[in-house]
Amino acid sequence: MFVTYLQLAHFKRFTHLNIDLRNLAQPPKLVLLIGSNGSGKSSVFDAFEAIATVSKDGRNGDDGYLTKSGTSDFRVSIVLSNGKTYHRLASITSTEEVSNHFFYGRSSLRQISSLTRTALGQVPVDFESDSDRPRRFIDRDERFENDIEKITEQILREVFRTNSQTADIKERFVNPINQAFMRIFGDNQATTLRLTVLNPPLEGKVADILFRKGEAEIHYNLLSSGEKEVFNILINLLSRRGLYQDTVYFFDEIDLHLNTRLQYNLLKEITEHWIPDGCQFWTASHSLGFIDYANDAGHAAIIDFDDLDFDAPQVLLPQPKNRLEVYEIAVPQETLLKLFRDKRIFICENRNDQYYNLLGFEDTLFVGVHNSNAVFIKIKREPGYYGVRDRLSHRRGDCDHRKPVSQLPGAAVLRLRELPVPPRQPRRTGPARVRQGRVHGRNPAAKERAAY
């Protein structure tokens, strides 16, 4: 099941928000919401829960929490790839039945620093109705020890009722975790985790969950925060994904406590190995590793929430891939440009960078900014950069394309259908290569070379 269109009205901080994925060739398996803290990403997950809670709890939940201040009624509309539409209008829900298993979400507050339970069954849980879930995405997600209990109970049942062999039990419950650890942390036996013991809480003692790293044996309580985060997510999916085979999963900020490489590996692991086929995975982040994976993955869409006025109506579409701007959520543009200081940096307007970078100019990077004025402001402030903007008018002969930038030698205004030409590098010998042409397969442009 895939969400292709989401509409929110008077919902939390949104006056009118549309997220539209219908222009993609096929619904994405991964939807990554990016944006700075407080930009509204987690509110999308509250919208999914607003639909799901009616079927799971038989009631509508906290309407006051979901309604934008100063308004009376909120509305949530979700369109799925199978053509079904689900609505929630404050206390009124659409007549279309919502399965308990259509939506499965986790809040970002999942961390359990130390195990606490000393016996099985201390907290009753109805897994079928997802009774232990957080109802709001500001609430703690208390599922971890419930998942440990469920899996250890299944292991005991396998041993005593079906006479399963140890190898069969390890193949079902231990090996999937350890294989995931290797793909996430690497295959260096001295540094990666291996789950070795998974015993339930019994006789007044907490669960015995042991890992090996190199020669050391480590109890769960002594793992790093990042290692606990990874294990928490994996054990939850191992415990529950059997119930959710036609589902929209939505997990908030699963990149917590992880470095960039592990962020990339974790999102890749969950999307490609743990989310079942035919399901969709939504997550929110402002981490570089997640953005990098979503840029690389053909089955991913990136939705950018950053720097938007949500008191006004907004329509959010998937971001073009490989644009430097999407990385600015994790790393400021100034820092990114410093990382590419060995290249010639061309500032260009709007989304032209995605086309110019495809031309493959050697040691050259085009960076898009919001508009033509931002091009000149940037290169005036940073003399080491070059600037390229489109012609000033669509009418021929009505402007001198050199004159407006005569005081900025690193800038040029292109003629109609002219492509940018990188300058000759002073450190190189021999004539610079001239690569000009017109777009759309037209004849080469005038031989005059733009003076950067």
CA neighbor of 281 nearest in space, from 267, 298, 291: 267
What does the alpha-carbon distance between residue 7 and residue 78 come to, in Å, rounded to a whole number? 7
Which position has the token pair 């030698």? 409
Which residue, 399, 351, 404, 354, is CA-closest to 376? 404
| Triad 288, 291, 296: Cα angle to 5° | 125
Residue pLDDT tens, the chain, 452 long: 899 999 999 999 999 999 999 999 999 999 999 998 899 999 999 999 999 988 887 776 778 899 998 887 899 999 999 889 998 887 776 646 788 899 999 999 998 999 999 999 899 999 999 999 999 999 999 999 999 999 999 888 887 776 667 888 888 999 999 999 999 999 998 989 999 999 999 989 999 999 999 999 999 999 999 999 999 999 999 999 999 999 999 999 998 888 889 999 999 999 999 999 999 999 999 888 999 899 889 999 999 999 899 999 999 999 987 666 677 777 776 776 677 777 888 888 877 887 888 888 888 888 877 777 778 777 776 667 888 877 654 444 444 444 444 455 566 666 555 555 555 544 433 333 333 333 333 333 333 333 33
Contact between 353 and 320 (Cβ < 8 Å)? no
Model-level pTM?
Answer: 0.77
Query: What's residue 450's pLDDT?
Result: 34
Q: Which residues partner with 199 through β-bridges?
A: 208
CB 45 within 8 A of CB 250: yes
Q: In what order do the strands lie in the sheet with 208-213?
A: 194-199, 208-213, 216-219
The pLDDT value given to residue 451: 32
Residues in the chain: 452
**Predicted local confidence at residue 443, as pLDDT:** 32
Q: At what angle do helices 225-240 and 260-269 cross, to 10 degrees?
A: 0
Q: What is the dihedral of CA 341, 290, 110, 143, to 10 degrees?
A: -170
- pLDDT of 330 reads 74
Identify the burial level of 247 via C-beta atoms within 10 angstroms of its C-beta, where 0-12 means exposed, 13-18 middle and 19 or more buried.
Answer: buried
Q: Taken in order 240, 245, 247, 252, is the CA torsion positive or negative?
A: positive
Residues 288, 281, 86, CA angle at the centre, nearest 5°? 130
**In degrees, to the nearest 5, what angle opens at C-alpha 411 toward C-alphas 347 and 413?**
95
H helical segments located in 260-349: 260-269, 288-296, 333-339
Q: Which residues pair with 89 in a beta bridge?
A: 75, 92
Kindly state the helix (H) or strand (E) to which residue 166 belongs, with its residue range: helix 166-169
Q: Look at residues 452, 383, 379, 442 and name the one whose alpha carbon lies nearest to residue 416.
A: 442
Cα–Cα distance, 305 to 285 (Å, whole number): 11
Q: Parallel, antiparallel, or unpaired for β 386-389 and 411-413?
A: parallel
How confident is the model at residue 409, as a pLDDT? 57
Asked if 147 and 236 touch (Cβ cutoff 8 Å), the reply is yes
Q: Give the pair of three-digit tokens for residue 356.
A: 């110019």
